[in-house]
Chain A
């Protein structure tokens, strides 16, 4: 059972290049999330998708776009990468039903922008 799978695991980009981070989950979850984590800090939400066909901005959406391709996949795109976007990016998913459901995370994509 793979859970949440993120690709690639590592990437180095030059300033101005574009890139799409991929995320897929096999738990049939409705909701998916993209977070970033900078050194010594907690996770900050970039975008989330409560259900297939919907997306919403989180705390730090500037410079990013997302696509909920289908129920399984939620991608994060950097159109013009900037050094400030150097970070570790985590994708997560959770069920959509009444009450609190835990979020399940992938192992992250480590992105460096030169």
Chain B
């Protein structure tokens, strides 16, 4: 699976959009971009994933650049409960059920 680079930490004002970047410049054509988050003292929570098209669900939007070398997770209206560590993971389409590889992630602090 390709390596990802994320900022160590970010702040966001409550009610504003949180934009979390991820660089995956070595991504290959059959690799998906996944986002998970981990709120303090809880297990990781799946957020969203995509291959090359932008994706949106009830939690967030995922914007993938045309060259697929980077992506941005957008939380449209951040709340205090969105304070967490966010992990960007790149994974091959045919990974089957091999385990996820979590890096250090971005610690997002939502500030009132």
- The chain A residues found within 8 Å of chain B, CB to CB, are 4, 30-31, 33, 35, 41-43, 45, 48, 50-51, 58, 90, 92, 94, 96, 99-108
Residue of A nearest to B31 (CB): A100
Q: Which B43-92 residues sit within 8 Å CB-CB of chain A? A: 43-46, 49, 87, 91
Residue of B nearest to A47 (CB): B99
User: Chain B at the A interface: mostly helix, strand, loop or mixed?
Assistant: loop
CA distance A103 to B43 in the complex (A): 11
B41 neighbours in A (Cβ, 8 Å): 107-108
Smallest CB–CB gap between A105 and chain B, Å?
Answer: 3
- Sort chain B's interface into a size bin: 20 to 34
CA distance A105 to B49 in the complex (A): 16
A106 neighbours in B (Cβ, 8 Å): 43
Q: Is the CB of B43 within 8 A of A102?
A: no
With A100-B32, A100-B93 given, name 10 new contacts (CB 8 A).
A33-B99, A35-B99, A43-B102, A50-B97, A90-B43, A92-B43, A92-B44, A100-B49, A106-B43, A107-B42
Tell me which of B34, B87, B93, B95 contacts A42 (CB under 8 A). Answer: B87
Q: Is the CB of B91 within 8 A of A103?
A: no
CA distance A107 to B41 in the complex (A): 7
Q: Is the CB of A102 within 8 A of B93?
A: no
CA distance A106 to B105 in the complex (A): 19
A43 neighbours in B (Cβ, 8 Å): 44, 100, 102
Q: Is the CB of B91 within 8 A of A100?
A: yes
Smallest CB–CB gap between B98 and chain A, Å?
Answer: 8
Interface flag for B104 (CB, 8 Å):
yes
A-B contact pairs, 30 of them (CB 8 A): A4-B43, A30-B97, A31-B97, A33-B99, A35-B99, A41-B104, A42-B87, A42-B101, A42-B102, A42-B104, A43-B44, A43-B102, A45-B100, A48-B97, A48-B99, A50-B96, A50-B97, A58-B99, A90-B43, A94-B97, A96-B96, A100-B32, A100-B93, A101-B97, A102-B49, A103-B46, A105-B44, A106-B43, A107-B43, A108-B41
Residue of A nearest to B45 (CB): A105
